[in-house]
């Protein structure tokens, strides 16, 4: 018997998501349209690709454990001191660092039921106690999160803005009010993985600082570097310094650092990508409408499509699309699970969705009707 700790022994051996690669192995064929992981199918900057190729020739060297050049560039990009920046292996890696700093056996932590599951995974991994509140009108409920945090004396509050899986958002004024009301015993994790796609009104100025605020951002979405795993936190110098107590100092490799730095500096490619994502979301909405589905307003690089049914139909639709070579996902918790979630992508991928959605939806509704 493996002598695991009692906590580790009590946890399931799992990951928060079943990846498209695992699904392709199960179905015995690759997907024709990979639209389920919220990756940026428009790719990354050619300048970033060139920088990573050059760095690959130096892969025998460790990456800079201080991430100095990248932290300096991020700081310059936002006009904040570099001491406020922490870098990690994507937002997921940063979430692990943060939960390790604040969560131990029984520590109460507040999030929304159905919100980003990797946060829950790390909280469980350090023995925390998850307290969840429901969405309201397909948005994370700021007032309910604060009420739960006060009631439970929570150490952490997690809010994604814009939200995954719904693509909805709160405006900057609402976020400022939330930050002003952070309880003294709590730290707010503001996950802004998709913020580059959001309207200006939803983008909180980076100058906003609070001693118990950690803002999380990533190169995985808007910068098209999901496979390289680079994320960063913008917080106080004291909080950023605390990350050094427990983080994996060589976690962000040399090639990833070079790619992120070059991508951040290629403003022309970035602007074109934002336009491409917007056009793709408009087309996804049109495809959905042609089949009687409704696209929810989205401040991300994906669109939540309301099937008009419930989670049973949505799950059947995800399976039917998968059988036809189209990879999409769906929210996990009702009533948001009435939707499927489709990432923006080039026309050649959306052409496949367009061609297959009608038959897949017919199959999903017929299967449920027979079962009923």
Question: What pairing do the DSSP bridges indicate for beta strands 156-160 and 187-191?
Answer: parallel
Mean of pLDDT values over 11-15 = 86
Mean of pLDDT values over 46-50 = 98
Mean of pLDDT values over 91-101 = 97
Cβ partners under 8 Å of residue 2, min gap 6: none
State how far the Cα of 259 lies from the Cα of 267, in Å rounded to an integer: 14
| pLDDT higher at 14 or 232 | 232
The pLDDT, as a whole number, for residue 370 is 59
Kindly indicate the confidence band of residue 64, based on its pLDDT and cuts at 50, 70 and 90.
very high
The pLDDT, as a whole number, for residue 307 is 97
Phi, psi of 340 (to 5 degrees): -115, 160
Distance from the Cα of residue 360 to its chain's centroid: 27
Kindly indicate the confidence band of residue 369, based on its pLDDT and cuts at 50, 70 and 90.
low
Kindly indicate the confidence band of residue 18, based on its pLDDT and cuts at 50, 70 and 90.
confident
pLDDT in tens, 276-291: 999 999 999 999 999 9
| pLDDT mean across residues, the chain | 96
Q: In this model, does residue 146 exceed pLDDT 90? A: yes
pLDDT in tens, 99-112: 999 999 999 999 99
Q: In this model, does residue 74 exceed pLDDT 80? A: yes
Q: Where in the chain is the domain with CATH 3.40.640.10?
A: 60-266
pLDDT in tens, 309-341: 999 999 999 999 999 999 999 999 999 999 999
The pLDDT, as a whole number, for residue 218 is 98
The pLDDT, as a whole number, for residue 372 is 55
Fold of the CATH domain 60-266: 3.40.640
CB 322 within 8 A of CB 27: yes
Entry field: residues in the chain: 372
Kindly indicate the confidence band of residue 161, based on its pLDDT and cuts at 50, 70 and 90.
very high
Q: In this model, does residue 121 exceed pLDDT 80? A: yes
Share above pLDDT 90 across residues of the chain, in percent, rounded to a whole number: 95
Q: Where in the chain is the domain with CATH 3.90.1150.10?
A: 6-43+268-367
pLDDT in tens, 188-239: 999 999 999 999 999 999 999 999 999 999 999 999 999 999 999 999 999 9
Q: In this model, does residue 1 exceed pLDDT 90? A: no
Mean of pLDDT values over 55-65 = 97
The pLDDT, as a whole number, for residue 2 is 83
Share above pLDDT 70 across residues of the chain, in percent, rounded to a whole number: 98
- The structural architecture, per CATH, of the domain 6-43+268-367 is Alpha-Beta Complex (3.90)
The pLDDT, as a whole number, for residue 292 is 96
| 0.75 exceeded by pTM | yes
């Amino acid at each position: 018997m493996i002598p695991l700790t009692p906590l580790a022994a009590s946890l399931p051996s799992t990951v928060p998501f079943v990846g498209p690669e695992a699904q392709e192995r199960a179905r015995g064929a690759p997907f024709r349209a990979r639209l389920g992981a919220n990756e940026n199918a428009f790719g990354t900057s050619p300048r970033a690709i060139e920088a990573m190729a050059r760095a690959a020739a130096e892969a025998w060297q460790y990456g800079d454990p201080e991430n100095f050049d990248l932290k300096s560039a991020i700081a310059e990009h936002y006009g904040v001191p570099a001491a406020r920046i922490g870098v990690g292996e994507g937002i997921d890696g940063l979430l692990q660092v943060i939960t390790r700093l604040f969560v131990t056996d029984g520590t109460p932590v507040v999030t929304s039921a159905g919100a980003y599951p990797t946060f829950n995974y790390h909280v469980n991994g350090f023995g925390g106690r998850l307290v969840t509140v429901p969405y309201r009108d397909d948005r994370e409920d700021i007032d309910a999160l604060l009420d739960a945090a006060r009631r439970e004396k929570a150490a952490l509050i997690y809010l994604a803005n814009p939200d995954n899986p719904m693509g909805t958002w709160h405006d900057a004024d609402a976020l400022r009010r939330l930050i002003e009301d952070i309880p003294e015993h709590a730290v707010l994790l503001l996950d802004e993985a998709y913020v580059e796609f959001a309207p200006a009104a939803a983008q909180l100025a980076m100058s906003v600082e609070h001693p118990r605020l950690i803002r999380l951002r990533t190169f995985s979405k808007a910068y098209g570097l999901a496979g390289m795993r680079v994320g960063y936190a913008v917080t106080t110098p004291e909080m950023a310094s605390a990350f050094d107590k427990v983080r994996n100092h060589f976690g962000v490799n040399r090639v990833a650092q070079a790619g992120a730095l070059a991508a951040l500096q290629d403003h022309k490619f970035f602007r074109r990508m934002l336009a491409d994502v917007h056009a793709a979301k408009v087309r996804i909405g049109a495809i959905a409408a042609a089949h009687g589905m409704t696209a929810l307003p989205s401040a991300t690089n994906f669109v939540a499509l309301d099937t008009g049914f419930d989670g049973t139909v949505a799950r059947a639709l995800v399976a039917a699309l998968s059988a036809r070579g189209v990879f999409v996902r769906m929210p996990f918790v009702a009533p948001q699970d009435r939707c499927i979630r489709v990432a923006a992508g080039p026309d050649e991928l959306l052409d496949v969705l367009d061609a297959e959605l009608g038959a897949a939806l017919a199959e999903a509704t017929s299967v449920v009707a027979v079962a009923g």
